[in-house]
């Protein structure tokens, strides 16, 4: 049983496995009151005067409590796993290197805010990148109540932070939006999906020695909540892939149950017009 569990854990890409383990290692002791939250949040005076360097690291992995922690943890896993398994397949070291740059940018933008925890800005940055890389037209259903384009979901997260945490919390979320946009634009926002700063995103030799490349990803597209498009409900967010169109210009030809676009004969004839097996 233990060996099977360990084997399943090893299937998770290395950087995603590290991020999830770090969040559990930092958050659970605080929730169980084994460690005080004041010992892991970022207090620059303690970092500079007392050399408590670990606070910089732990400030990115201190989650909330209760159901909010579960939702945020699942979203962290699915966002990171979707990116690392698809867009960083066999390039986990590049993913880790770019995460370091993103974390540094978040620290810089949040410094004037005197924020103590940066878990939420990092999650919003990851969500922004994955939402921008999702197929056009993909929708996100929030708890089955609201359906919005996945590109708007990171902004909704900031709006929720404003309502639930106030302006300071929302401001740190905006920092996550800015970093996420800069990450996406510099790596993928240029012509042909190549960013102007793509070369800067390649990991140095020491990072490649430190981080394994990870398993070969299955390919595909990443949705706003992580994973492949249409992968289901994640943290209250259900991602709905783009609907098929009769002209065959969508991401696929299959129609939703109960909403057939063509009858069986026309559907079979339409399939023969496409040679790309991804859509067959």
- Quick one: which H or E segment has residue 139? strand 139-142
Residue 23 has pLDDT above 90, yes or no: yes
Cβ atoms of 23 and 73 closer than 8 Å:
yes
Q: How far apart are the first and last CA of the chain?
A: 38
Rounded Cα gap, residues 177 and 94, in angstroms? 21
What pLDDT is recorded for position 81?
Answer: 94
What pLDDT is recorded for position 257?
Answer: 34
The closest of 77, 69, 76 to 37, measured between CA atoms, is: 69
Summarize pLDDT for 252-274 with one digit per residue, the tens: 333 333 333 333 334 334 333 33
pTM of the model: 0.76
What pLDDT is recorded for position 10?
Answer: 83
Summarize pLDDT for 116-146 with one digit per residue, the tens: 999 999 999 999 999 998 888 788 777 677 8
Q: What SS3 class is residue 240?
A: strand
What pLDDT is recorded for position 167?
Answer: 92
Q: How far is CA 46 from CA 42, 43, 112, 116, 169, in A?
A: 8, 5, 17, 12, 22
> CA torsion, points 170, 114, 31, 68, in degrees to nearest 10?
10
Rounded Cα gap, residues 73 and 61, in angstroms? 10
Mean model confidence pLDDT for the chain: 79
Q: Determine how many CB atoms are found less than 10 A away from the CB of residue 260.
A: 12
Rounded Cα gap, residues 136 and 150, in angstroms? 9
């Amino acid at each position: 049983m233990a060996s099977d569990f360990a084997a399943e854990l090893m299937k998770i890409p290395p950087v995603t496995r590290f991020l999830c383990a770090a969040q559990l290692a930092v958050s659970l002791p605080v929730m169980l009151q084994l460690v005080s939250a004041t010992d892991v949040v970022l207090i620059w005076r303690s970092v500079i005067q007392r050399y408590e360097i670990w606070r910089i690291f732990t400030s990115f992995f201190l989650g909330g409590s209760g159901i909010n922690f579960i939702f945020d943890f699942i979203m962290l896993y699915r966002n990171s796993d979707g990116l690392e398994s698809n867009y960083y397949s066999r390039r986990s070291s590049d993913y880790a290197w770019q995460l370091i740059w993103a974390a540094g940018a978040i620290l810089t933008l949040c410094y004037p805010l005197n924020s103590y925890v940066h878990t939420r800005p990092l999650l919003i940055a990851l969500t922004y990148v994955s939402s921008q890389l999702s197929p056009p037209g993909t929708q996100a259903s929030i708890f089955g109540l609201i359906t919005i384009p996945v590109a708007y979901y990171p902004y909704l997260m900031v709006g929720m932070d404003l309502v639930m945490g106030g302006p300071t919390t929302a401001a740190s979320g905006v920092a996550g939006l800015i970093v996420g946009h800069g990450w996406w634009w510099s790596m993928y926002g240029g012509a042909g999906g190549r960013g102007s700063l793509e070369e800067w995103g390649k990991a140095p030799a020491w990072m490649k020695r430190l981080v394994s490349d990870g398993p070969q990803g299955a390919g595909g597209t990443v949705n706003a909540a992580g994973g492949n498009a249409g992968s289901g409900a994640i943290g209250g967010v259900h991602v709905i892939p783009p609907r098929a169109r009769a002209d065959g210009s969508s991401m696929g030809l299959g129609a939703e149950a109960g909403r057939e676009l063509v009858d069986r004969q026309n559907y079979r004839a339409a399939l023969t017009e496409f040679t790309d097996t991804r859509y067959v």
